[in-house]
Chain A
Amino acid sequence: MKNVKPAPFAYVRAQTLDQVFDLLEQHGDDARILAGGQSLMATLNMRLSAPDVLIDINHIDGLSGIEESNGKIRIGALTRHNEVAASPIIAEQAPLIAKAMPHIAHQAIRNRGTFGGSIAFADPAAELPAVSRAVGAEFILQGRGGTRTVAANDFFLGLFETAREPNEILVAAEIPVIPANEKTAFNELARRHGDYAIIGLAAQGGVDGGAFSNMRLSFFGAGDRPIMAEAANTALEGKSYSDATVADAQAALDADLDPMDDLNGPPEMKMHLARVITARVLAELAR
């Protein structure tokens, strides 16, 4: 056939996780897991990635769906973005995720892209990795020998690099139900609605009697991975919303963020925009 774009690869429609483990053990780094494919397919089309084997996990039972029990929401890795966006559980119990969903790409991509795929791909400009840090998510990784749990805070190791071992697959995320005293805010700047952010901020934390506590400001598009703004979080602890509090948090960002030059602009521009969205997010939290 004419007009093929990716380098040649074999394709396996896996029916079971054991089959996935077999293929991962056999092919190692030369195999890629295909979930929604909305990032992977683009990198294949541009030949930024050229695996020997694609393992399609879309037909494995039990990897999809959203359920809540014992104060935790479990989101199956294969759950499509539009299922997450339409979920009443997410809207009520994990509102930060609900706020982020409309910013994730566009309808046709949300029909196909998956929650777990976005996490495992670990694009530093994607929304869900940063959101998962702000909400305190944990990820369930499964290998031949069983499962292990890794906190979102320990999962993202670098540019497209995660704590997932090459013989493991991400099967689910677990999100704590939002505590009664916590609020959420989300803001991102993009050239076109739905495009990857120039920079964005997902925030969740306590707003008790007007004072911020245990605040988690989690940035995306600001470095090689989602970044928790520890200094800004500390600056906010116990403070009420005011111009001075906002200024302190903005100043603290110099210690938190060291953005790279990218197609959107120089680091100084990103730092300026980080301060702008921090002010917007704090105002939203204080409302």
Chain B
Amino acid sequence: MDKNVDISLSVNGQEVSRRVPARTNLVDFVRYELELTGSHVGCEHGVCGACTIRVNGAIVRGCLMLAAQADGATVETIEGVSESSEISDLQAAFHERNALQCGFCTPGFLLTAQELLSQNPSPSRDEIREFISGNYCRCTGYQAIVDAIERVAGERRQAAE
């Protein structure tokens, strides 16, 4: 049987078509085939959250999904949501609050935080911690990340009023 697959999908608003080995993970596809290297590869078995990517509007582990499974899907990476300014307030808050040091985990945290705030505009600090529990950060100790997300939640609520 053929161990390659033809796929066509939308990535950050652009249609792409490729022929890839069936065993290619989605995150390796966007990094090595599309050269979108903002999604990072950490543990490669679903524990660390560095590879978080949005597929059809919901965050997934890029290492636990095949590129073949994204055929026909709408995929958004950190590059896409950065360019569209969708998360510019989160990015500014992470920067100002020192919610990153080495930055390796940051794209995953930003996409996760964005999904949290889209579902729950006023999360408690405990709810923030629970929602980001699938993302590892080895630098910050999380406190500053929770602060930054909490601040953006407040800013967005104010802006909505």
Q: Which A residues are within 8 Å of any B CB, using their own CB?
A: 1-13, 34, 37-38, 41-42, 44-46, 52-54, 56, 58, 82, 102, 105-109, 111-112, 192-195
Contact = CB atoms under 8 A, between A and B. Distances in A.
Interface string B11-40: 000000000111111001101110000000
Given A42-B64, A112-B64, A6 B23 contact: yes
A192 to B, nearest CB: 6
Nearest to B71: A13
A193 B130 contact: yes
A2 B32 contact: yes
B120 to A, nearest CB: 11
Contact of B112 (A10, A58, A102, A108): A108
Interface in B74-127: 112, 115-116
B139 interface: no
Contacts of B9: none
Nearest to A6: B23
A109 B21 contact: no
Given A109-B64, A111-B58, A45 B45 contact: yes
A106 B66 contact: no
Nearest to A4: B23
Interface string B129-153: 1110111000000000000000000
A5 B32 CA distance: 13
A112 B71 contact: no
Q: Identify which of B2, B3, B21, B22 gathers the most chain A CB atoms within 10 Å of its CB.
A: B22
Nearest to A10: B1
A111 to B, nearest CB: 4
Contacts of B52: 108
B59 A108 contact: yes
B23 A7 contact: yes
Contacts of A11: 3, 5, 22, 66, 68
Nearest to A195: B47
A158 B129 CA distance: 35
Nearest to B5: A11
A106 B71 contact: no
A199 B99 CA distance: 33
Q: Identify which of B21, B31, B64, B135 gathers the most chain A CB atoms within 10 Å of its CB.
A: B64
A54 B22 contact: yes
